[in-house]
Chains A and B, each alone.
Chain A
Amino acid sequence: MVVALLALVPLAYVATYATVIGPVELWQLVVRPRILDLLGHTVALSLSCMAATAALGVGLALLVERTDLPARRLWHGLLVAPLAVPAFVNGYAWVSIAPSVHGFRGAFLVITLSYFPLVYLPVVAALRGLDPALEESAWSLGHSRRRSLATVVLPQLRPALLGGTLLVGLHLLAEFGALSLLRYPTFTTAIYDQYGSTFNGRAATAMAGVLVLLCLLLLLADLRLRGDRHYARVGQGAARRTVPIALGALRWPALLAPVLVTALALGVPSWSLLHWLRVGTSAELPLGELAGAAGTTVTLAAIGALATTAAAVPVVWLAVRHRSRLSTLVERSTYVANALPGIVVGLALVVASLRLVPAVYQTALLLVVAYAILFLPRAVVTVRAGLEQSPVVLDHVAQSLGLTPLQTARRVTLPLIAPSLGAGAALVFLAISTELTATLMLSPIGTSTLATEFWSASSELRYGAAAPYALLLVLISVPATVLLMRQERLAP
């Protein structure tokens, strides 16, 4: 319960603030030309990026999963790899070597390249989960391969595709670093500027309110989709793979697509990073600062990961073992909080802590709370998968053999969910390590993490100095990407 309440703090903040300001003034704050401008920017970028990632994700997934493209396994790995490059690092990489990449076109390019794996991955998972017998039945009923792709396969991909696209939307609404570097103002960057320059709580809150509405809209769409999503494959046994579609003469030209995407999404950032590393090391490499920032990051991330996983356990326990309307609500409420951008969570915690418990403002405690709110769903999803592996019948057996509930938890449940607890904590650890927005707003003065150091260097156009931090950030993200790839369902 406490966990759920905590997770709802940001939402409550926006709601109460909106009522305190009053509808009239709120309306005036919202319908300023500036806000409408931002709204136009945000919606235009969201819609175009969602469309582009959907097209790119499905196209590449079909190409890699269903055709005889050369070296398909290699391409699969390379197409997931952009997830390991945080979008703000990607933005930095592009803008630092090609200053002309900015504004809408720049943002569109960088965001699409950073986020298309969010569509690609679930679609590939869905394709792999499809029972080949479905397609085989369609062929035997006289549909050509091409036609059965449209009549049987694509409809089955719809939930994965829409889910992935909505995820892109949510990520984009929360994106701050990349868009700020690319000088494309959206609500998130404007809130940050407002907060940083004038500390204008009301204007920032009004914008946060609109942003939250947009996020909730996407979340509602996602929940509706999840409601009627069903597993495509119910039978047992190992899934067969369908016979790949022969591309024939197009086999080699088709390679161009993944080559181009990989070059843009991976090649450019890598080249840019290496370039700036070379240039940067001509000056002195600040090993001490680097180690200090890395140390702080690891400490914060470790504490945050422990706290978040500990908070996830009771939520999952209630949701899985004591399924009721209330426990589902508790679980769902943590997801709502996750749809909120880091900027809103940060803002809400700043205001709430100043109002209610000023002592914790500017402390690491508040930052850890923000991390827990932001990343709780990742831990919940992982721990939940683990607890579902430990069916309640095992508890019954243990009880019938004379164990009290507490002994049962220690000797049966805990050993069974330990791996998923570890995986959940690791995922949260890695997510915190590369978190930028909330860290910038909430970290105690004088605290420098890899992300904040990278940010201060790159936003002051000291590209060479930023490079080593960027490299470390990418390296930290790699294991998280591998873990995510293993999860069937991507955490929202």
Chain B
Amino acid sequence: MSSLTVTGVTKVFPARGDGSRTVAVDDVTLHVPHGSLTAVLGPSGCGKTTLLRLVAGFLAPDAGEIRFDDRVVAGAGRPVPPQTRRVGYVPQEGALFPHLDVAANIAFGLPRDGGRADRVEEMLDLVELPRDFAGRRPHELSGGQQQRVALARALAPSPSVVLLDEPFSSLDASLRESTGRAVARALRAAHATGLLVTHDQSEALSLSDQVAVLRAGRLIQAGSPADVYMAPHDPELARFVGGATSLPGESDAAGTAATCALGRVTLSQPSSADHLVLVVRPDQVVLVADGVPARVDDVSFYGHDAAVRLSLAADGTALVARVTGPSAPSVGDTVQVGVAGAVHAYPAPVHD
């Protein structure tokens, strides 16, 4: 396994009929340390799959460099073809070879000399599938099992980097989480360097060591899941990752607190600007005894918790609060809300 370094990589797709060029990946620089898993997060069409295909070698970058440890695989001279890059690739639907059984699929990339059967069993153990699955055909497996076999197949030749292209998006909700966790465990056990492409922020936050957020081809922020969640780079990212609400606010003289529709809140970092945009995540909005009055517009009850959509009685500002399921109010109730913890703030855009 090696680390993966992407430096200034740009990919432009040529003009189509209407003459528009698409800059799919725009000057992206990213480092994935040895043995860690980085999730590339972004809405569909943001260029995350293109980035993954560039790393795999199915596409060649127009500018920039891709290195596995110190080995340059794209950027200087002819790019290294995919078959000699030694990447493990797990595509969206698993894409097991339908004419081969599980064992032959896993052993597909292994050299023809001995030890294949041992390696197949080792891999089945790694992805937590019973060994007697070796003789099954792909169509006899469930979607989650197919994904695990696809991962085993990718890991069997001990690749430098494992690339996972939305591997869980075709699974239904209950399988998605358990398969995701099993895959992350297997990657850790194999000390694999992984790049996981996803549009699901909870998947990205829960599985990876590092989250890289891509928007319109540009890297917006790369950091630990906690960083990205608690200190997002801009209000838009705060809405995308945490489902946060933005509120206008005025900072006080010291710059450590601000006043807004929810009253006085503490800032997570001191700010020098007077006018601020405050982002309040649903988990920070709490129902209290003496707060700002708000009306309950809608309640989505999930059992263990509930999302409560509120509008403030004073000016109608819409807010979302996440509360424990049993404590959820009813639609039409008037409740008192407050803010728990420090709030992340950005200087407000200047209007003239």
Contact = CB atoms under 8 A, between A and B. Distances in A.
Interface of A: 389, 391, 393-394, 396-404, 411-412, 415-416
B86 interface: yes
Given A391-B95, A396-B91, A397-B91, A402 B58 contact: no
A397 B157 contact: no
Nearest to B81: A399
26 contacts: A393-B92, A393-B95, A394-B95, A396-B56, A396-B89, A396-B91, A397-B97, A397-B153, A398-B97, A398-B108, A400-B56, A400-B88, A400-B89, A400-B109, A400-B163, A401-B88, A401-B89, A401-B108, A401-B154, A402-B83, A402-B84, A402-B109, A411-B108, A415-B99, A416-B97, A416-B98
Contacts of B84: 402
B248 interface: no
B98 A400 contact: no
Nearest to A401: B109
Nearest to B53: A396
B293 interface: no
B31 to A, nearest CB: 22
Given A393-B91, A397-B154, 15 more contacts: A389-B98, A391-B95, A396-B82, A397-B97, A397-B150, A398-B97, A399-B58, A399-B82, A400-B82, A400-B154, A401-B153, A402-B83, A403-B83, A404-B83, A416-B98
- Enumerate the 4 nearest inter-chain pairs by beta-carbon distance, A residue then B residue, closest first: A401-B109, A400-B89, A399-B82, A393-B95
B97 A400 contact: no
A400 B108 contact: no
Given A396-B56, A396-B58, A402 B86 contact: yes
Nearest to B86: A402
B87 A394 contact: no
Interface of A is mostly: helix
Contacts of A398: 97, 108
Nearest to B109: A401
A387 to B, nearest CB: 13
Contacts of A394: 95, 97
A143 B81 CA distance: 61
Contacts of B97: 394, 397-398, 412, 416
A122 to B, nearest CB: 28
Interface in B127-183: 150, 153-154, 157, 159, 163
Interface centre among B57, B88, B97 (most CB of A within 10 A): B97
A101 to B, nearest CB: 52
A401 B96 CA distance: 13
Contacts of A411: 108
B246 to A, nearest CB: 39
B85 interface: yes
Contacts of A389: 98
A393 B86 CA distance: 17
Contacts of A391: 95
Interface centre among A391, A394, A402 (most CB of B within 10 A): A402
A400 B95 contact: no
B248 to A, nearest CB: 45
A400 B163 CA distance: 10
Contacts of A399: 57-58, 81-83
A69 B260 CA distance: 75
A239 B234 CA distance: 48
Contacts of A396: 56, 58, 82, 89, 91
Nearest to B104: A411
A402 B157 contact: yes
A404 B82 CA distance: 9
A416 B97 CA distance: 9
